[in-house]
Amino acid sequence: MTVTTPATLDALADAVATTAPAPLRIAGGGTTRPWRHNGAPPGVDVIALGALSGLTAYDPAECVVTVLAGTPVRHLTDTLAVHGQYLPWDPPIAGDGATVGGMLASGLSGPGRYRYGGVRDFVIGARVVDGRGRLIASGGQVVKNAAGFLLHHALVGSAGRLGVIAEVSLKVFPRAEATRTLVARASSLAGALAAHERLRLANLDLDALDLDATSAVVSARLAGAADALDARAARAARALAHAVETLTGADEARHWQALSLAAWPATGATVKVPAAPSRLTAILATLMPLGPCRLSAGGAVAFLHSTQPLDALQDAFAAAHLRGAVVRGPDAGTPLGIRHAPAFADRVRASLDPDGRFR
Amino acid sequence: MDLTTALAAIYPPDRLLTRASALASYESDALTAFRTRPLAVVLAETRQEVIDTVRLCHAAGVPFVARGSGTSLSGGSVPLDDGIVIALNRLNRIVRLDPVDRIAVVEPGVINLDISAAAEPFGLYYAPDPSSQSVCTIGGNVAFNSGGAHCFRHGMTANHVLGLEVVLPDGEVVRLGGDSVEDVGPDLAGLFVGSEGLFGVALEVTVRLLPRPESYRTVLASYTSLQAAGDAVTRIIAAGLLPGAMEIMDRLAMDAAEAAVHAGYPPGAAAVLLVELEGDAAQAEAELARLSAVLEASGPSHVHIAANAEERALLWKGRKCAFSAVGRLSPDFIVQDGVVPRTKLGDALVAIEQLSRQHGVRVANVFHAGDGNLHPLILYDGREPGALARAEALATDILRLCIRLGGSITGEHGVGLEKRAFLPEMYRPEDIAFMQRLRESVDGRRLANRGKMLETPA
């Protein structure tokens, strides 16, 4: 096993080309797949992106940032915050050296995806190194662009299997003036689901809406002008129809951190399950016996943390006709349950990685 | 058996067009400069017919192009003379509209605005709103990643398509994505969107629906210069506001719109800026106070806040009809669709004004300022010798200006036939080579919409 740590895009392309045709793994911060600790399997070369770090371009007035893939997410969010801007999808894994490339490859969005969309909705361009060491650009640094194939979209959720994400251009937004979170503890899961549904349908422009299934707690965040928050919070509380705890500032931040999938151990399997409000009861009936689970983005997605063997997860997902994937843990990147016919995916992969190096 | 005979086994005579008179209306789309008569047109009514047609074309090695309402402004649905047109307008069923999950599952021939109409009783709508939304179809929107006026805040078609059923160019049928805004695995639905028909034909599209904002606050500010209007947009973003839409029209465009719909645009202004806030009523009201302060500081000659839904509708009607209204000013025009970084809008407008003077060709400007998406309408009279060539020369200069300023040659119309020569100016040869490899990998025989986007004109 060799580990290469290129510091420039050219060096990265060169490293991929010179290690051909050995299988490759890409190491970001090691926060979704813990290779950092385990190393890669024998015969697999590792390209570490830690030295490929920093902002390539950022004009706050433009609300667009271009950043190298090895840049820590925290560094990016800190830089944006200085200019009153943020990543609206709340990358759930941002600490411990989690990288921008990993953020894209994992395709994970946090609670903030509820209002303005997920990471897929904010990626406007990328540069990627393919399996033959060719540096390829798609998209650009403008928020509206219909020129050429949108390869950067396919990198979202690609789990390092299409190519090495080298640089990413993102649309960013101004951060809201103020936020406030309402927390309601229901006496049962059914009660929590009902309150969650009332909030979702009340057209409140919530910034985030999550439900912790294990504890039957509903959390709703409002964001916007400070002088409008009292009126908005009162409406949200009426829709919740439960005793409400109101959180702001550091308490609010801690509450959402505790709810984040990053709060689960990196061991075991964190599983992502695309969901839909009308199917939540059925989905939770499948997931809850497997481990603690949470709903995020108004029930558009469920997250499970399980210490069950992968086979048991596969069986449970297949039996329930669920589609999901392990997104964190030693098996990160493994799809679960029903799968789509692979013809298009295979052809896309063949164009980027004809030698099958990114496994 | 030749292809036409094989198609006749699938389609009754009234849905397989081969006579010149019947083919005429399929020769071109909204970019009328390109015109080719296809071998045949099939009017598909079912998914299976589309799949069978693609399989027959693949077996026969005959190129095909899918077509909706033919509103492409880049020549994206112009056929080849040895090719087949698969007309999808009759695949226009809304298969499912789920107001709880807030999705619609539609066939490709469904008209963009019909989705919002069907969703309206549930307080929902489909966000992407290209100017042609009352006639253009979702299939075409998917192929060209259509935009509209709300892309900075709400994104483009790719951000609203959750799942697709697709027939690949060799007839294989696959599903991409799903029915949730969150998916697992690479975002292949997102990659399919904007592929201009080169990856095959979408048979079914699952889109997300958004709750209709509780409140809209629409403001019109007029300025004595186009650049001042552009600068106001930068100030609005710098103030941390996130309007749903920001649109600018110059004097020429306003005159055209006024003549068409009497939208009430102020006489004498060099430019107007239309800003729309949306969302929770209390929030929108709070934002309106902040927006008003920003606009006051931007040196407008006049600011008008729409007092009610009727006034708002009228302001938008003028904007939405600007393209067709420009037809009153000039017998012919070319619509450009370049993008510049929003902060370079002022520079771009000054440069376009200079280029217009230099070429002696009039330009009306209507654009999505929040997205940096320019829509210069280049006016000419095709009967005048050399006029088209002058207009095209100006159009080329404007595209190159957009590339130079770090933008794109197209924000929402696509490359199509029109801008094939400019894609290699925007991307490096390595990037184009990858696009070619991807295309070859998906469609080794280059049958799906051959001639578009990646093939430079001879």
**What would the pLDDT profile of A249-280 be if each residue is shown by its tens digit?**
999 999 999 999 999 998 999 999 999 999 99
Amino acid at position A359, single letter? R
Question: Is residue A321 one of the residues assigned to a domain?
Answer: no
Question: Is residue A205 one of the residues assigned to a domain?
Answer: yes
Identify the pLDDT of residue A38: 55
User: Tens of pLDDT along B142-185?
Assistant: 999 999 889 889 999 999 999 999 999 999 999 999 999 999 99
Q: How far is B15 from chain A (nearest CA, A)?
A: 30
Please determine, for residue A32, whether its predicted confidence score (pLDDT) is greater than 90: no
CATH code of residue B235: 3.30.70.2190
Best B172, B182, B287, B453 member to test A by mutation, with max A CBs in 10 Å, is B182
Q: What is the dihedral of CA B104, B105, B110, B113, to 10 degrees?
A: 10
Asked if B206 and B243 sit in the same domain, the reply is no
Q: Note whether B182 contacts A61, CB cutoff 8 Å.
A: no
Residues 6 or more apart in contact with residue A197 via CB below 8 angstroms: A277, A299
Overall number of domains in chain B: 4
Question: Is residue B341 one of the residues assigned to a domain?
Answer: yes
Overall number of domains in chain A: 1
Query: Given A148, A154, A274, which is nearest B427 (Cβ)?
Result: A148
Domain that holds residue B383: 330-404
Asked if B106 and B204 sit in the same domain, the reply is yes
Domain boundary among B404, B428, B452: B404
Both tokens of B202, joined, read 């979408």
Cα gap B444→B424, rounded to integer Å:
21
Burial of A254 (0-12, 13-18, 19+ CB in 10 A): exposed
Q: How many CB atoms lie within 10 A of CB A102?
A: 29
Best B408, B428, B437, B440 member to test A by mutation, with max A CBs in 10 Å, is B408
Asked if B246 and B354 sit in the same domain, the reply is no
Domain that holds residue A198: 178-259
Cβ atoms of B84 and B197 within 8 Å: the answer is no
Q: What angle do CA B170, B175, B178 make, to 5 degrees?
A: 160
User: Tens of pLDDT along A45-104?
Assistant: 899 999 999 999 999 999 999 999 999 999 999 999 999 999 999 999 988 889 999 999
Q: Note whether B282 contacts A145, CB cutoff 8 Å.
A: no
Q: What is the dihedral of CA A239, A240, A243, A248, to 10 degrees?
A: -100
Q: What angle do CA B274, B280, B282 make, to 5 degrees?
A: 95
Q: What angle do CA A299, A301, A304 make, to 5 degrees?
A: 115
Which residue shows structure tokens 């558009």? A300
Predicted confidence band at A34 (pLDDT cuts at 50, 70, 90)?
low
Helical packing angle, B226-238 and B345-359, nearest 10°: 160
CATH code of residue B206: 3.30.465.10
Q: Note whether A120 contacts B159, CB cutoff 8 Å.
A: yes
Question: Is residue B65 one of the residues assigned to a domain?
Answer: yes
Please determine, for residue A35, whether its predicted confidence score (pLDDT) is greater than 70: no
Strands B302-305 and A45-48, sheet pairing: unpaired
Asked if B374 and B303 sit in the same domain, the reply is no
Query: Given A61, A137, A225, which is nearest B287 (Cβ)?
Result: A225
Best A130, A142, A313 member to test B by mutation, with max B CBs in 10 Å, is A142
Please determine, for residue A184, whether its predicted confidence score (pLDDT) is greater than 80: yes
Q: Note whether A136 contacts B431, CB cutoff 8 Å.
A: yes
Asked if B202 and B223 sit in the same domain, the reply is no
Average pLDDT score, chain A? 94
Question: Is residue B441 one of the residues assigned to a domain?
Answer: no
Q: Note whether B414 contacts A146, CB cutoff 8 Å.
A: yes
What are the chain A neighbours of B101 within 8 Å (beta carbons)?
276-278
Q: How far is B75 from chain A (nearest CA, A)?
A: 14
Closest-CA residue of chain B to A157? B186
Closest-CA residue of chain B to A326? B184
User: Tens of pLDDT along A323-351?
Assistant: 999 999 989 989 999 999 999 999 999 99
Question: Is residue A192 one of the residues assigned to a domain?
Answer: yes
SS3 A83: coil
Both tokens of A55, joined, read 């902002």
The residue count for chain B: 458
Asked if B316 and B335 sit in the same domain, the reply is no
CATH code of residue A189: 3.30.70.100
Mean pLDDT, residues A15-33: 87
Best B58, B73, B181, B236 member to test A by mutation, with max A CBs in 10 Å, is B181
Identify the pLDDT of residue B87: 98
Query: Given A84, A118, A205, which is nearest B280 (Cβ)?
Result: A205
Residue A105: name the closest of A307, A333, A257 by CA.
Answer: A333
Domain boundary among B39, B72, B87: B87
Cβ atoms of B201 and A352 within 8 Å: the answer is no
Q: Note whether B340 contacts A137, CB cutoff 8 Å.
A: no
Question: Is residue B13 one of the residues assigned to a domain?
Answer: yes
Query: Given B181, B234, B411, which is nearest A145 (Cβ)?
Result: B411
Portion of chain A with pLDDT greater than 90, in percent: 87
Asked if B33 and B108 sit in the same domain, the reply is no
Question: Is residue B10 one of the residues assigned to a domain?
Answer: yes
Question: Is residue A221 one of the residues assigned to a domain?
Answer: yes
SS3 B192: helix
Question: Is residue B284 one of the residues assigned to a domain?
Answer: yes
Asked if B39 and B130 sit in the same domain, the reply is no
Asked if B200 and B227 sit in the same domain, the reply is no
Cα gap A120→B373, rounded to integer Å:
21
- A133 in contact with B, Cβ within 8 Å: no
Amino acid at position A281, single letter? T
Domain boundary among B181, B211, B241: B211
Both tokens of A263, joined, read 């709060």
Question: Is residue A202 one of the residues assigned to a domain?
Answer: yes
Element (H, E) at A231: helix A229-240
Closest-CA residue of chain A to B152? A143
Q: Note whether A147 contacts B187, CB cutoff 8 Å.
A: no
Please determine, for residue A243, whether its predicted confidence score (pLDDT) is greater than 70: yes
What are the chain B neighbours of A301 within 8 Å (beta carbons)?
180-182
Question: Is residue B417 one of the residues assigned to a domain?
Answer: no
Both tokens of A112, joined, read 């903030």
Q: What are phi and psi of A334, to 5 degrees?
A: -85, 125
Q: Note whether B174 contacts A138, CB cutoff 8 Å.
A: no
Cα gap B246→A74, rounded to integer Å:
32
Residue A123: name the closest of A104, A106, A136 by CA.
Answer: A104
User: Tens of pLDDT along A96-133?
Assistant: 889 999 999 999 999 999 999 999 999 999 999 999 99
Q: Note whether A107 contacts B183, CB cutoff 8 Å.
A: yes
Asked if B246 and B259 sit in the same domain, the reply is yes
Q: How far is B91 from chain A (nearest CA, A)?
A: 23
Closest-CA residue of chain B to A155? B186
CA distances (Å), origin B87, targets A102, B15, B17, B24: 42, 10, 11, 14
Cis peptide leading into residue A21 (ω within 30°): yes
Cα gap A263→A161, rounded to integer Å:
26
Question: Is residue B136 one of the residues assigned to a domain?
Answer: yes
Query: Given B153, B286, B408, which is nearest A228 (Cβ)?
Result: B286
Q: Dump the DSSP string for A259-278.
A: HSGGGS-SSSEEEEEE--GG
Asked if B293 and B378 sit in the same domain, the reply is no
Bridge-partner residues for B1, per DSSP? none
Cα gap A169→A171, rounded to integer Å:
7
What are the chain B neighbours of A91 within 8 Å (beta carbons)?
none
The 10 Å CB-count burial string (b at 16+, else e) for A110-141 is: bbbbbbbbbbbbbbbbbbbbbbbbbbbbbbbb
What are the chain A neighbours of B411 within 8 Å (beta carbons)?
142, 144-146
Q: How many CB atoms lie within 10 A of CB A95?
A: 14
- A86 in contact with B, Cβ within 8 Å: no
User: In chain A, positions 226-285, which contact chain B (CB-CB < 8 Å)?
Assistant: 227-228, 231-232, 272-278
CATH code of residue B54: 3.30.43.10
What are the chain A neighbours of B181 within 8 Å (beta carbons)?
113, 117-118, 297, 300-301
Q: How many CB atoms lie within 10 A of CB B442?
A: 24
Tens-binned pLDDT, residue by residue, of chain B (458 aa): 799 999 999 999 999 999 999 999 999 998 888 899 999 999 999 999 999 999 999 999 999 999 999 999 999 999 999 999 999 999 999 999 999 999 999 999 999 999 999 999 999 999 999 989 999 999 999 999 999 889 889 999 999 999 999 999 999 999 999 999 999 999 999 999 999 999 999 999 999 999 999 999 999 999 999 889 988 998 999 999 999 999 999 999 998 888 888 888 888 899 999 999 999 999 999 999 999 999 999 999 999 999 999 999 988 888 888 877 887 888 888 888 999 999 899 889 999 999 999 999 999 998 899 989 999 999 999 999 999 999 999 999 999 999 999 999 999 999 999 999 999 999 999 999 999 999 999 999 999 999 999 987 66
Identify the pLDDT of residue A270: 96
Both tokens of B135, joined, read 């006639």
Question: Is residue A197 one of the residues assigned to a domain?
Answer: yes
SS3 A44: coil
Question: Is residue A61 one of the residues assigned to a domain?
Answer: no
Cβ atoms of A357 and A20 within 8 Å: the answer is yes
Identify the pLDDT of residue A42: 77
How many A-B residue pairs are in contact by the CB < 8 A criterion? 272
Q: How far is B14 from chain A (nearest CA, A)?
A: 34
Query: Given B192, B237, B411, which is nearest A63 (Cβ)?
Result: B237
Q: Note whether B187 contacts A107, CB cutoff 8 Å.
A: yes
Q: Note whether A340 contacts B176, CB cutoff 8 Å.
A: yes
- A314 in contact with B, Cβ within 8 Å: no
Q: Note whether B442 contacts A344, CB cutoff 8 Å.
A: yes
Identify the pLDDT of residue A27: 86
Q: Note whether B184 contacts A117, CB cutoff 8 Å.
A: no
Cβ atoms of B220 and B243 within 8 Å: the answer is no
Closest-CA residue of chain A to B424? A148
User: In chain A, positions 178-207, which contact chain B (CB-CB < 8 Å)?
Assistant: 203-205
Helical packing angle, A229-240 and B281-296, nearest 10°: 160
